[in-house]
Amino acid sequence: MHRKTFHVVQELGEHLPYSIFSAAVGLLFLGVLSYIGMLLKAEDVLPKASKELFHVFHPVHLLLSAAATTAMFWSHEKRFLKALIIGFLGAVIVCGVSDIILPFLGGSLLGVDMHLHICILEHPALILPFVFVGILAGFLAPLAISKSTQYSHAMHVMVSSMASILYLTAFGLTNWMDFMGSVLIIVVLAVMIPCCISDIVFPLLLTEE
C-alpha cells in the first residue's frame, strides 16, 4: 500500500505542470475566440461557439480519459471485465466532474447564474461511442506505443482544460475576462484533481498488486 501511495504522489507531481500549461493554453484559445466575437460585433458568438465546441471537446476528453484509465489499470493487472468497468466509470464519472460539475460550481461561486448541462444524460448517443472506443484504445495502445499512458494523459489534460473552459463560457460565464485569474484556478483544479484521479489514482488503487 505504501508503494502505491508513493507512486500516486509521484505521478501527481509529474503531471501538475501538464495541468497548468494546458489551462494557460486554453485561456489563450478562449482569448482568440473572444476577440473574433468582438471583431464580428456579436455578443452571442462566444456562448454559442463555446457550446458547440464543448460538445466536441467533452466527448474527445471522455475518449482519452477512458483510454488512459484503462491502459493504466491494464498495465498493472490483466483482468478484462474489471479493466472495462474501471475504464468506463473513470471516464464517465470523473470526467463529468472535471468538465461539468467543478466548472459549474466554480462559476456559481463567482456569482454567475450557471446552467447545469450533463451530457451523458442529455446526449447519451453522442457520449457512449467515444467512451467505448477509448476503452478499446486503452487495451490496445500499450501493445503498440511505449509509455502510452503518459501520451494519452498529456492529451487528456489538454482536452480537459478546453472542455472545462468552454463549459464555463457556454453555460454562464460570458464575461470571463473579468474573472481571468479565478478562471485559471478553477480550470487547474478542475483538470488536476479529477483527471489525475481518473488516469492515475483510481486505476492504481484498484489493482491487486
Amino acid letter, residue 14: E
> pLDDT tens digit string along 73-124?
887 788 889 889 988 988 898 889 999 999 999 999 999 999 999 999 999 9
pLDDT, position 145: 52
Angle, CA 113 vertex, CA 187 and CA 47 arms, to 5°: 65
How far is the C-alpha of 197 from the C-alpha of 69, rounded, in Å? 9
Cell 464543448 sits at which residue?
A: 54
Read off the pLDDT of residues 16-34 as tens digits, 9 standing for 90 and up: 777 788 888 889 988 888 8
Q: What is the pLDDT of residue 45?
A: 82
Position 29 scores a pLDDT of 87
Which residues fall within 8 angstroms of residue 138, CB to CB, at 6 or more apart? 66, 67, 68, 69, 70, 71, 74, 83, 87, 152
